[in-house]
Amino acid sequence: MDLPPLLITDFTSSSANLAWYVVNDNVMGGQSDGDFKLEKGQLTFTGRTNTNGGGFSSIRTKTLQLDLSSYEGVQLHFRGDGRRYTWRLATTARWRGEQVSYWADFETSDGTWSTVNIPFASFVPRYRGNQLDGPDIDAGQITGMGLMIYDNKDGVFEFHLASIRAY
């Protein structure tokens, strides 16, 4: 039996506060900047990437405890700007004692509201941006999520996220 989608957040006052925060490439000497605001039932992530350095900007949630093992993946409803973005998941997995993150890229269309389903099977394990051979993602142990722009392009970005669901 298929489960109905599980709402993780729709950025309204009745949804969970995921305590988002910013991580830009200045943590490694880069020059990109990004920020976000929450209003009108959406999260707006804006800034400018600069590939002279790290070339990324991201937002992440506080530590979570989500068991999404009964679901196939993550569903995002958003309005993009034509650039490629990365959805990031964290779990309890470790590599050499450090937290592994899992990345899955998706494309956007400029100014168009879209919904994308990102299967858990498409998430690639990474440590500090470097792809790892494993471990595979354990959707029963989700400890955080985030949105990143890391498309090797300089310039402004603007991404409007209306909801996050498990499907």
The ranges of the chain with pLDDT < 70 are 1
Q: What pLDDT is attached to residue 141?
A: 97
Q: What pLDDT is attached to residue 1?
A: 59
Q: What is the distance between the alpha carbons of residues 47 and 31, in angstroms, rounded to a whole number?
A: 11
The residues, ordered by sequence, that sit 6+ positions from 158 with a Cβ below 8 Å of its Cβ are 44, 45, 46, 81
Residues in the chain: 167
Are 98 and 127 contacting, i.e. CB atoms less than 8 angstroms apart? yes
Nearest Cα neighbor of 161 from 3, 42, 13 is 42
First vs last C-alpha separation in the chain: 13
Distances (CA, A) of 1 to 4, 71, 119: 10, 11, 18
Are 89 and 144 contacting, i.e. CB atoms less than 8 angstroms apart? yes
Q: What pLDDT is attached to residue 128?
A: 87
CA dihedral sign, ordered 117, 110, 161, 148: positive
According to CATH, the topology of domain 6-166 is Jelly Rolls (2.60.120)
Query: Residue ranges per domain, the chain?
Result: 6-166
Q: What is the distance between the alpha carbons of residues 145 and 119, in angstroms, rounded to a whole number?
A: 14
Per-residue pLDDT of 63-77, as tens digits, reads: 999 999 999 999 999
Are 87 and 118 contacting, i.e. CB atoms less than 8 angstroms apart? yes
pTM of the prediction? 0.94
The residues, ordered by sequence, that sit 6+ positions from 8 with a Cβ below 8 Å of its Cβ are 16, 18, 66, 145, 163, 164, 165, 166
DSSP 121: G
Q: Which token pair is 110?
A: 């400029």
